[in-house]
Amino acid sequence: MGNRNPNIAKISLLSVLHHKLLAALAEPTSGSICIHKYDDRGNPIGLSELLTSERVGIVFQFSERYFLADTVLEEITFGWPRQKADLLFKEQLALNLQNAFKSVGLTTISLDEDPESLSGGLKRRLALAIQLVQTPDLLLLDEPLAGLDWKARVDVVNLLKDLKRHHTILVVSHDLRELYPLVDHSWRMEIGGCLKEEALPSAL
């Protein structure tokens, strides 16, 4: 899914979908969001479920600017439970990390590497992996191609095209043309918060 909107509308949308993370900006006054899972053949699995903020991953625009750790491993495990988590939970997180790195094509980089030494495209992949470790039901991407050179932009689009096979992705962007290969539905958010579905943009 893709969404084109002005900056204020973009902030409002992300705030509602991940209100705990962005509670300082906006808190939803009413309503709820539910999700329905489907198998590979498009058949529904079970009943619809309430979507909570814990089940939402978000990659901000220029997310690599917020990296804090000295190594890739420390960056991706930042915020993990240190003492209270049992061994089984930690083993599951380690498996999630392995799967996340594989899904974004980071299996060849060293976990001891400084995140700041990575290229722009690899930094964006690392930001995606950090969220995928939490196995979110919904992945929010804010301008995922911003600041990347043309080759990195193509690589990220191809990566997202693969990820959408297993994840529901909502992209917020001013220009969806480069993201055309992965967009199934496109909306424009108008002033006042109304969503208007529009024709898919033409590829460049």
User: Which residues belong to the active site?
Assistant: 143
For residues 149 and 168, give the distance between their C-alpha atoms in angstroms, rounded to a whole number: 26
Secondary structure letter of residue 20 according to DSSP: T
Closest C-alpha to 144, from 109, 120, 119: 120
User: Nearest 10 degrees: CA dihedral of 62, 65, 68, 73?
Assistant: 50
Q: Which amino acid is at 113?
A: E
Residue type, 167: H
Cα–Cα distance for residue pair 202/8, rounded to 1 Å: 25
